[in-house]
Amino acid sequence: MKKMIAAIILMVAFASCSVSKDPQRKTARLLQKGKIKEDTSWVYHLPYKEGTSHLVIQGYFSRFSHKNRAAIDFKMRKGTEVYAARDGVVIRMVKHNNKGGWNRKYRQYANMIVIQHSDGTRAGYWHLKQDGAFVNVGDTVRTGELIGLSGKTGYSATPHLHFMVWKNTNGNWQQVPTRFLTKKGAKYLRPLRWYRNKQAPE
Ligand SMILES: [Zn+2]
């Protein structure tokens, strides 16, 4: 019952983001269930402070606003520190906005950081608070580096961090599901579960 209420609240609360044309929904499900064993994809770090936990409120291709999206929403109080999930170079940054809400008209007001990785993939960190970006276009960032503060700017009813990765395949940008380092190893995250950012021992 509690889980159902939470799911309903979250369904009402969330919407954002852009749509990918080829959602790879089935593949993502199999990956989440661990049914695809051979996986050499990059393992991302959770994009928040080491030792802290956050609830995944929407996972890949969930029924509500991520229907066609390979994106993850982490529930986060406004002003929560956001950390780079992977090394890269900042290629886009917006931080001046201060508006957000559950209406498409707010989409243009999203503050965000986009980081390009060495293999050409890009990660987006969305809905940051006003002035909640500590990096500039051209900056090199390292995994685990503090890059900003979460918020609810743009198309978002409640504070959260929307994280997504795109890959360019034959000229088309496509959102792709990614693995994250969790205390149980490299996992595809699932909705309504908590994940603690616990770094692997050196
Ligand atoms: Zn989202």
Domain limits, the chain: 2-192
100, 135 in Cβ contact below 8 A?
Answer: no
151, 106 in Cβ contact below 8 A?
Answer: no
Query: Which two three-digit tokens encode residue 22?
Result: 């080829």
Catalytic residue among 66, 127, 160, 162: 160
Is 160 a catalytic site residue? yes
Say how many Å lie between the CA of residue 48 and the centre of ligand 1: 16
**Measured distance CA(199)–CA(90) in Å, rounded:** 23
Beta strands in 59-141 (DSSP E): 71-75, 81-83, 88-94, 100-101, 112-116, 122-126, 140-141
- What does each of the 202 residues of the chain score in pLDDT, given as a tens digit? 566 555 555 554 454 454 444 456 777 777 777 776 677 889 999 999 999 999 999 877 766 667 667 889 999 999 999 999 999 999 999 999 999 999 999 999 999 999 999 999 999 999 999 999 999 999 999 999 999 999 999 999 899 999 999 999 899 998 999 999 998 889 999 989 999 998 655 4
Say how many Å lie between the CA of residue 126 and the centre of ligand 1: 8
The phi and psi torsions of 173 (rounded to 5 degrees) equal: -85, 130
* End-to-end CA separation in angstroms for the chain: 41
| Fold held by 2-192 | Glucose Permease (Domain IIA) (2.70.70)
Say how many Å lie between the CA of residue 58 and the centre of ligand 1: 7
Radius of gyration of the chain (CA): 16
User: Given phi > 0 = left and psi -120 to 50 = alpha, else beta, which region is 159?
Assistant: beta
**What is the model's pTM?**
0.84
Say how many Å lie between the CA of residue 70 and the centre of ligand 1: 9
Amino acid at 1: M
Say how many Å lie between the CA of residue 190 and the centre of ligand 1: 13
